[in-house]
Amino acid sequence: MSFKLNNPLFEKLGMKYPIIQGGMAWAGTGHLAGSVSEAGGLGIIGTGYWKADKVREEIHRAREVTDKPFGVNVMLLSRHIREVFDVVIEEGVKVVATGAGDPSPFIDELHSHGILVIPVIPSVGLAKMMEKKGVDAVVAEGMESGGHIGSLTTMTLVPQVVDAVNIPVIAAGGIGDGRGVAAAFMLGASGVQMGTRFLASEESEVHENFKNAVVKAKDIDTLVTGEIMGNRARVLKTKMSKNFVKQERIEIQKPKPDADAIEDLENGSLRRAVIDGDKATGAFMAGQVSGLITELKPVAQILEDTWSQAEDLLN
């Protein structure tokens, strides 16, 4: 017997597994996203603060490895979003995921091109608002996640969002194996999104230092930056991130940085982790589930192992 999924979106996209690789700025490259879609999940390219040309290049890189649908995550704080949406539409991308903001102004336009819109949300209020605006599903993301986070845990957020909306709810945050997937389904989710697990995959193009740091991390090896300054983000504990948190207490006395300074800080420090593997100044965004991840695997094996374990438990 096989567990019956109740998610028409995934059927529409022809996915074999109800598992999405979450968009990750810098780390969610076309190669990784294409590989996940090719193996039967849904890969999502993370565009962060990228300009249109780079987004187009990564969409083409995804198409080098798959003919299957994949998504693009648009970071709504970026100043390049209009041009990024234009590229997504021109290139015939099938799914847009959004993070850090309200995608409402773009939903009708994306739908008119047959593009599914799936925002990431950290609260019930936002989930309800997104449903009203007509999105196709929501990703309910708990604060266990790597990257930018809200304040609720996946365990508490997912069932409350499931009760509040009538669209598919995809659970994210702290899921690294089939036990997490099965638990998410028990909470009422009809799909899961994983980020950190896919950082430690063979197809992930993050620097070796980053992959090794995820594999080596233990349960308590992440911390949250931005608790004081805003833009809370979960990263691996490094000398730099520990120092950053200390420094925040001093910096709070000074005027709030402008948009350029924030982009430079966030985009720059993540790039230094992902591309350069720079332990001294990079921000190694990764989730609490890092402690559960002990080896690098090909994405096809991650999907297969995760889903077969989940299916056994669910059955």
Contacts with ligand FMN by CB under 6 A lie at 22-25, 27, 46, 48, 73, 75, 99, 120, 141, 144-147, 172-175, 193-197, 199, 285-287, 289
Both tokens assigned to 247:
């420094």
Q: Shortest approach of ligand FMN to residue 115 CB, angstroms?
A: 16
> Which residue number, 23 or 69, has a Cβ lying nearer to ligand FMN?
23
User: How many residues appear in the chain?
Assistant: 315
Q: Shortest approach of ligand FMN to residue 23 CB, angstroms?
A: 5
What is the Cα–Cα distance from 315 to 118, expressed in whole angstroms?
A: 28
Q: Shortest approach of ligand FMN to residue 149 CB, angstroms?
A: 8
> Which residue number, 162 or 288, has a Cβ lying nearer to ligand FMN?
288
Q: Shortest approach of ligand FMN to residue 303 CB, angstroms?
A: 14
CA 244 to centroid of chain Cα atoms: 23
> Which residue number, 38 or 144, has a Cβ lying nearer to ligand FMN?
144
Among candidates 106, 95, 77, which has minimal Cα distance to 233?
77
Do 35 and 299 form a contact (C-beta atoms < 8 A)? yes
Q: Shortest approach of ligand FMN to residue 235 CB, angstroms?
A: 8
Both tokens assigned to 71:
């998504």
Do 307 and 178 form a contact (C-beta atoms < 8 A)? yes
> Which residue number, 67 or 208, has a Cβ lying nearer to ligand FMN?
208
Do 127 and 161 form a contact (C-beta atoms < 8 A)? yes
- In 203-271, beta strands by DSSP E: 222-225, 233-236
Q: What pairs with residue 297 in β-bridges?
A: 201
Q: Shortest approach of ligand FMN to residue 195 CB, angstroms?
A: 2
What is the Cα–Cα distance from 126 to 165, expressed in whole angstroms?
A: 11
> Which residue number, 254 or 275, has a Cβ lying nearer to ligand FMN?
275
